[in-house]
Amino acid sequence: MRETLRLKKPTKEVNVIREDEGLPMGPRSRQTFKFVYIHYPKSWTFDTDLGFLPRVKKVEACPGLNGCKKNGSLALTLARVTEMGGTVLDPKDQRLGDYQDYVHFYPIRGGGKYYVDFNKEAVVLPNDEVMWNTHEQRDQWNEFMVHVRDCGMIQPLLKEVYLSMLERERKKANSLGGRLDRNPHLANKLERTNARIEGMQAHWNAANKVTDEMMAKAKKPSKRVAKKVAE
Amino acid sequence: MAVTNGTDYSDLVTNGGAVAELLAAEVLQQLYDPTDIRATVTRIAFNGSGSDTLNVTKDMVPGAFTSPGENATLNATTYTTAHFDIQVAAWRRAYALSDLIPVSGSPINLDRAVNNLMQGVALTVTDRICNVFSSFTATAGTALVPLSVDDIFDGSFALTAALNSGPATCVLHPVQYNDFISSLRSETGAAQWMPATGAMLAQRGPGFKGSWMNIDFYVSDSVGTDGSGSYQGGLYTPGAIAYAMANVAAMGVHVPAANVILNAGELLVELDRTASDGVSAAYATMFLGVSMAEDDRGVEIISDAS
């Protein structure tokens, strides 16, 4: 004889009116890929508060791009980066500390992953428009750059690179000064550029006092004296 | 005398005498960026001969002669070539339409879907070319600072210093371009009086914007951002970036001829009819590889993304 069956409480369906799990992808959205940060010895920038910061670039594991395999293998791509003098910031490197595994992702609504930098935060508006909090991500990024600079993963700033950055800034100041009489709006820019020049010198000198012997120096070509030709 | 018991339109809609909405005869296009910058980079022929990777040789740079002196042996110079690789990978997209769509008289049909897939080829190549910009080791501009005329000059000077000859191509994000134009409109001096400066200030859609200082400007939303929130545009001369597209006709051995809707050499669209589900699908396939060919021929243009 069949008995009456009393079922347990049903599970709640939370997405009835609106599917709100994951990032919505509009028709203009593009696929993103896993990535690795790299740094080249000449890629530096200057922040008046934080000093010289490395300019870290991103190599995406995009099949068919710069030798990336169809399975996303970056072996060839990163070998080329190293050949060009770049340093690969391995996401598993312990020196990264809290920034280890810096590749993050949002699940995409309907399946898939949307890869983003560790500092990106998405806000999904009621109309499914995605807004990225770009202002706050800058501070986090700069903190990351300070960490990369100080943790020993990359070569320190070369004196030659510093001097070329300083020279470029001086030329910029000269150019702005030459146009200032016809362009009064350039006064602010000139002021900022002069502040950057002073800041660059101050930061370099401050860092140099402590780490003068630790600074990497470019190799000088060895001097060779030609042999005298027998007469 | 007032009319009573009149039948209004809403009554008809409620009672089935009229329908709430009808499809218009026209189908309009939504805004999108159709920019195709393939013409600005080098195409390398790809004929499958046992590998998915092309090794492209870069010839040795010609050198000036040496003067070895009288009765001295001249040592041969090593003929040092360079190379870069292009690896092609499959890029695909598909649309599947149920049988009810044509039966209901919708203007959306498989032909339109195939046409849409064809537009995707240029978008895919443009996306990939823009991905290469961050690979250039040289940069101009400053992260988190709006792009200015000075930054474009810096990039141009870097190309000149690296022995590049013009014309150069500059691909910027729309926001970068707006910042550049804001800077350009207040520019004084030689650039102020150039007809090209005035022409650059004119509003145009995405794509080719005009030539200024022997630089062809393109705007594309394919330009990406870095971790700091800065756009990564590119300024380069011919030979900086190369791409290859494999001939999809070679897929013919796998795809029954009757299923091929379109075979355009670089793009193959095949029909997949699943009778059990009542769905017809168009699958588009292309094989694309893009690589930086020579670092000295390009500069990354970085500027604030907000």
pLDDT over 70, % of chain A: 91
Quickly list H helices, chain A: 75-83, 134-150, 159-179, 186-211
pLDDT for residue A110 is more than 70: yes
pTM assigned to the model: 0.85
Q: How many CB pairs under 8 A join A and B?
A: 108
Spatial CB neighbours of B56, under 8 Å, sequence gap ≥ 6? B44, B83, B84, B85, B86, B242, B293
| B87 touches A: beta carbon within 8 Å | yes
First CA to last CA distance, chain A: 124
Q: Do B295 and A70 make contact, defined as CB atoms within 8 angstroms?
A: no
Q: Do B227 and A137 make contact, defined as CB atoms within 8 angstroms?
A: yes
pLDDT for residue A210 is more than 60: no
Query: Average pLDDT per run of 10 along chain B, which is 306 residues long?
Result: 84 89 85 89 89 92 90 91 93 95 91 93 95 93 89 94 92 94 78 71 76 91 90 96 92 87 91 95 96 96 89
Q: What is the pLDDT of residues A175-195, one digit of tens each?
A: 888 888 877 878 888 999 999
Q: How confident is the model at residue A212 (pLDDT cuts 50, 70, 90)?
A: low
Residue of B nearest to A172 (CA): B150
Q: Do B87 and A172 make contact, defined as CB atoms within 8 angstroms?
A: no
* pLDDT score recorded for residue B204: 67
Q: Do B137 and A37 make contact, defined as CB atoms within 8 angstroms?
A: no
Residue A141 has its nearest CB partner, among B222, B227, B290, at: B227
Residue B295 has its nearest CB partner, among A84, A120, A142, at: A84
Quote the minimal CA–CA distance from B271 to chain A in Å: 23
Mean pLDDT of A31-36: 93
Q: Do A141 and B189 make contact, defined as CB atoms within 8 angstroms?
A: no
Q: What is the pLDDT of residues A120-163, one digit of tens each?
A: 988 888 888 888 877 778 889 999 999 999 999 999 999 999 99
- What is the C-alpha separation between B58 and B24, in angstroms, rounded? 56
* pLDDT score recorded for residue B43: 95
Quote the minimal CA–CA distance from B9 to chain A in Å: 30
Q: How confident is the model at residue A231 (pLDDT cuts 50, 70, 90)?
A: low
Quote the minimal CA–CA distance from B124 to chain A in Å: 10
Residue B89 has its nearest CB partner, among A59, A64, A142, at: A64
Residue of A nearest to B129 (CA): A65
Q: How confident is the model at residue A100 (pLDDT cuts 50, 70, 90)?
A: very high
pLDDT for residue A9 is more than 80: yes
- What is the C-alpha separation between B142 and B154, in angstroms, rounded? 11
* pLDDT score recorded for residue B203: 66
- Amino acid letter at B158? A
* pLDDT score recorded for residue A218: 67
Mean pLDDT of A79-104: 93
pLDDT for residue A229 is more than 80: no
Q: ipTM for the complex?
A: 0.82
Quickly list H helices, A124-230: 134-150, 159-179, 186-211
